[in-house]
Amino acid sequence: MRGPTTDLARIDKFRACLPESTVLALVFVGRVLSTEQVAPRDRIAYWHEVICSTFIKLDVAQTSGGSFRGMVRDHEVGPIRATRIVTDPMTAERSRRHLRAAEEDVCLLALQLRGRTIGHQDGRRAVLAPGDLALFDSTRPYLVDFQGPRFDHLVLQFPRAALRERGIEADGATARRIAVDSMIGRLVSPFIVNATRVADAAGPETGERLAEMALDLVATALAPFGGLDRPPPAPGEELLHRVELYMQLHLSDPGLSPPKVAAAHNISLRQLHRLFAREGTTFGRRLREERLRRCFDDLASPLLAARSIAEIGARWGMPDAPGLSRAFRARYGMSPREHRRAALAMSGTAPHTARPEVLA
């Protein structure tokens, strides 16, 4: 697993491929929508409407405390709508309920700029760090978990037919991580960032060409997964996808256990354990990693500085304070208190001292 400083190193590598300040000025024209213009109590409802009008119909839920903040800025370049989204941690789910009334037939290519994303679709799970890419398809259910403490994302939305014209069937290419430090990732990610930045200033004809070039590169990156002659999915992929979705949605339940998850999916305990064994892990290890990651992010958030470490642990299904402290130190090499103090110092936020912390 990655250490706590891995994302920073990846950001540096990613930004080294780009002109100075590019990441801060990716999309500089077009529509801007922000929660700053809305009363705090109305922000989640407003944000839901923003997301649905900008992308596709989705269920949106806040996953951090405090007053929610989010901003989108988008414009169209040829057949592509490019959208910059900066937000507090949240989840976005495309369910079968949305599909029954859906008219959209689009793909969404996500390029991570800051934070961490876990995306689930078609029995697969993609974990994105800064510079990584992944594809999602509007015609089937998916869940995306945007983790923070402050999340930044660039999304290219385009017709699904644009990939098929290039020999790619989207259902085989979804939720596949294209790493920024892979050979194709080093080419595609910086190109998308730069093309998005300059397309409008270059004029409509050049913008159209840049969009087509971007789609060609995306198809090339996805070819190993989504070629029309691709092999069938491995047995159990769809079931593992459903189990991991269930886990993500029930992290706050301290009683989440293999028997409960197996019963919810009408499978035996042996089947459940085999699913995770194929991934080189166990149910318990995956659950612990996800919970610790949520605690790690929440402890670094200035918005949650007034919450005790014990409260944050309980929020993510780890109510045993000493157990959380031991697991956190084993995973990150520091105590929850040490991590919080360092993270808040970097953000210029003083740790809350009104109540004594339970954890070291």
Q: How confident is the model at residue 3 (pLDDT cuts 50, 70, 90)?
A: very low
216 with 243, same domain: the answer is no
Q: What is the pLDDT of residue 303?
A: 73
Confidence of residue 1 (pLDDT cuts 50, 70, 90): very low
Mean pLDDT value across residues 68-87? 90
From 226, 255, 278, give the residue that closes a domain.
Answer: 226
Q: Does some domain include residue 257?
A: yes
**Range of 25-39, 92-106, 120-134 with top mean pLDDT:** 120-134
pLDDT digits (tens, 9 = 90+) for 290-304: 899 889 888 887 778
157-161, 172-176, 230-234, range with the lowest pLDDT: 230-234
Record the tokens describing residue 158, joined without a space: 């385009």
Tell me if 360 is assigned to some domain: no
Give the domain-ending residue among 157, 191, 226.
226
> In this predicted model, what pLDDT tens digit does every residue of 308-353 receive, in sequence order?
999 999 989 999 999 999 999 999 999 999 999 988 887 666 555 4
> 354 in a domain, yes or no?
no
Query: Which of 205, 226, 247 represents a domain boundary (last residue)?
Result: 226
> What residues pair up with 125 in beta bridges, in sequence order?
120
Does the pLDDT value for residue 264 go beyond 80? yes
> What Cα–Cα distance (Å) separates residue 68 from each residue in 43, 90, 142, 267?
6, 9, 23, 38
Contact 96, 140 (CB under 8 A): no
Number of domains the chain is built from:
2
Domain-embedded: residue 208: yes
| CATH code, domain with 57 | 2.60.120.10
Q: Quick one: 321 and 186 in the same domain?
A: no
| Structural domain includes residue 192 | yes
Residue 282 has pLDDT above 80, yes or no: yes
358 in a structural domain: no
Helix, strand, coil distribution of the chain in percent, nearest 5 = 45, 20, 35
Does 121 map to a domain? yes
- Residues 277 and 198 reside in one and the same domain: no
Q: State whether 257 and 218 are in the same domain.
A: no
The pLDDT value recorded for residue 136 is 96
User: Is 1 inside a domain boundary?
Assistant: no
What CATH number is given to the structural domain containing 307?
A: 1.10.10.60
Asked if pLDDT for residue 288 goes beyond 70, the answer is yes
More confident residue, 350 or 59: 59
Its domain, for residue 293, covers 237-347
pLDDT over 70 at 213, yes or no: yes
